[in-house]
Amino acid sequence: MSVTNGRVPTVLSAEFGLPVTAAEHEACPVTDVLRRIGDKWSVLVVVVLGRGPRRFNELHRSIENISQRMLTRTLRALQRDGLVTRTVYPTVPATVEYALTDLGRTLLGPLSALTDWAIANREDIEVARIRHDEMEERPPS
C-alpha cells in the first residue's frame, strides 16, 4: 500500500484522530467498497458464485425472490468493478455464464469474516433491538 500524497485514507485518518476532509471522504476506499457491496443483493450473488460459475437463471433460482431487474443490475455492477466475468456462448438461444474473477475470489475471505460475525451475533443484536424498542414505549420509571 503506497500513499504518495502523504495523507492516508479516511478511516486511517480517523484512527489517528485526525479530521477527515471532504475530498478524502469521497476517495475513502472503505466507504466506497461498503456502499458497493452493502446493497441488498451483491453479497448473496458473490457467495453463490463462490461455489462456481452460474448461468443467469440458475442465479435467479438460487436467490429466489430477487427480481430479474435487480439481478441484472447487481451483476453489471460487479462486472464493472472487475469482480465478476460475463461470458456469452453463441448458442440458440444464447447461454450466458457468470463467474468470479480472481479479484472477486479474494473477497470471499473477508466476507466470511463478516458473515461469521453476523451469524454469531444475530441473537444479541435481536435482543438489543427488542429491549431498546420496549424502552422507548415505556420509558424507565
- Whole-number minimum distance, CB 76 to DNA, in Å? 7
The answer to whether 9 touches 24, Cβ cutoff 8 Å, is yes
Task: Point out which span in 34-42, 103-111, 121-129, 132-140 binds DNA (CB under 7 A).
Answer: 34-42
The count of other CB atoms within 10 Å of the CB of residue 53 is 13
**Closer of 93 and 139 to DNA (Cβ):** 93
Q: What, of DNA, its own copies, none, does residue 108 touch, CB below 5 to 8 Å by kind?
A: none
The number of residues that bind its own copies (CB under 8 A) is 64
- Whole-number minimum distance, CB 93 to its own copies, in Å? 22
Tell me how far apart the alpha carbons of residues 123 and 125 are, in angstroms, rounded to a whole number.
Answer: 5
Amino acid at 34: L
Extract the C-alpha cell encoding 135: 424502552
Extract the C-alpha cell encoding 30: 472503505
With 0-12 / 13-18 / 19 or more C-beta atoms within 10 angstroms meaning exposed / middle / buried, residue 67 is exposed
Which residues in the 19-78 window bind its own copies by CB under 8 A? 19-22, 25, 28-35, 37-40, 43-44, 47-48, 50-51, 61-65
Q: Which residues bind DNA (CB under 7 A)?
A: 35, 39-41, 55-58, 65-70, 72, 75-76, 86, 93-97
